[in-house]
Structure 1
């Protein structure tokens, strides 16, 4: 066996071990989702004695899953769409208007990424409580504020690779500033838009702290509902793991339908 083939075998073995390590949490979640509470405490690695859907039925009911799923989809979808729209326009304006003011504004946005949410959450919730915006609309507005800094920074960086001659050609053809951005520039920003969407979807979909401060129980998202399986004196691991299994199904379905756009966007961004 030559050295090249031996190195390939070693790489394949290491890759397999890493894959098994990465998949181990999913194995533990799926296996224990079918167990009773007693079986989980007896051993988490073994297979269940009998497959039953009782945990999933109870978790589906306790989570009020359809309502929680709707709330998560509404908050995540609306927040990401608004962040992409506002951040791309802001990044375009800052990149095309070279002045001390635009440079200062970009510095403000970049500096805002350094502010931890925990330092402003109490004043923020108090302020929004006074104007009665502690609801889903208020939450979406907060996500816009917290998510725009990084997104504007990414869009501004992407704009540096797009020639200003495209703007000039569009203006000569009679397009105004908004038409130039929407029909000429924004389609060219698809790779960075996919990146911004992925980063913000992962953050907003899984966020617990901010919704816990803003939303009422009727508007709770899936991460908030999952908390109800863990009380002060008891933890219903069998229901929690079944609930987690149900909760990842929409994510898998969403990725299945959007994987072409995600892969194309990331690939185009890598080539650029």
Structure 2
């Protein structure tokens, strides 16, 4: 009997922790169907009537189609470039292994330790200067935001790939070169496919980061046509009034795409992190 109790107690505690963790999601989901009066009456109770009118209202107010398109373009382009450049950079760092490579790798890893809040104002000043010198729109443009995401994502990408590539035998690459592979073919046909677990981990982490990011787009994007979904969602939180039911509906809409992606790719997270960061 005592052994059974000892087995049950941990399971009960885990279940309670899961319920506690999921409770905010429950509140967001249930209150997205309620009127303001019903929500203020009892936030925890289920809605008396499930109505999607607040979802349609939220979609209209946040200009959902444009915001979704901007978020998708920014996320896909940023992550594609981060993955390609980080993998190539990490491979060269590992295989060259000279003092310059070690120093550059250390600098990239060190950038992960710098809080964004400490550099956000100097960053905006520098982006404005670059825009004036080059004539390129570095602020209030999707291209400028993608450029900044690539810079901020490079450190973690190189770090993850560096650890995994260190575990790949050099003899495998030497055999490919002997068989006539060029450096380009060696990387894309031999090395990069082996990096799939780390690539999937990096993609998942960056999708969650870029898709949900509010601070950097709020500093960079000013025009309505360039707004991402998090920026559009903030429209419901006014200075004096907050449309809570529409805000909850907007948050649910925002969460759905990244939740679907995460559920489809979650099996790669533990595998990729263990194979990349730990082995390094």
The bucket for the TM-score relative to the shorter chain is over 0.9
1:121 matched to which residue of 2?
120
Corresponding residue for 1:95? 94
Contact 2:57–2:246 (Cα < 8 Å) also in 1: yes
In structure 2, distance between residues paired with 1:232 and 1:127: 30
The aligned residue for residue 30 of structure 1 is 29
1:153 to 151, 159, 162: 159
Measured in 2, the distance between the counterparts of 1:251 and 1:195 equals 14
Q: Distance in 2 between matches of 1:228 and 1:165?
A: 56
Q: 8 Å contact 1:68–1:220 — kept in the other structure?
A: yes
Residue 165 in 1 paired to residue 171 in 2?
Answer: yes
1:267 aligns with 2:244: no
* Aligned twin of 1:225: 232
| Equivalent residue number for residue 193 of structure 1 | 199
Q: Which residue of 1 aligns with 2:249?
A: 242
Partner of 1:141: 147
The equivalent of 2:75 in structure 1 is 76
- Whether contact under 8 Å (2:208, 2:258) holds in the other structure is no
Q: Tell me the number of residue pairs that the alignment of Structure 1 and Structure 2 aligns.
A: 268
CA contact under 8 A between 1:194 and 1:266: conserved in structure 2? no
Q: Is the 8 A contact 2:71 2:228 kept in 1?
A: yes
Give the deviation of 1:264 after TM superposition.
4.6
SS of the residue corresponding to residue 113 of structure 2 reads: coil
Q: Any stretches of 5+ residues in structure 1 without a counterpart?
A: none
1:215-248 CA-partner distances (Å, limit 9, x unpaired): 2221111100011001111111111001111222
- Report if aligned partners of 2:94, 2:165 keep a CA contact under 8 Å in 1: yes
CA distance in 1, matches of 2:261, 2:240: 36
Counterpart contact for 2:207–2:258, Cα < 8 Å: no
Moved more, 224-233 or 46-55: 46-55
Contact 1:190 1:265 in 2 (8 A): no
Q: 1:191 touches 1:266 (CA, 8 Å); kept in 2?
A: no
- Say if 1:91 and 1:159, in contact at 8 Å, map to a contact too: yes
Instruction: Return the alpha-carbon distance in structure 1 between the equivalents of residues 215 and 272 of structure 2.
Output: 34
Q: 1:230 to 1:264 in 2, by over 3 A?
A: closer
Runs of 4+ in 1 over 3 A off after TM superposition: 264-272
In structure 2, distance between residues paired with 1:157 and 1:125: 33
Separation in 2, partners of 1:46, 1:265? 35
Describe the SS at the equivalent of 1:34: coil
CA contact (8 A) 1:154 1:192 kept: yes
Q: Secondary structure at the match of 2:167?
A: coil
Partners of 1:77 and 1:85 in 2: how far apart? 12
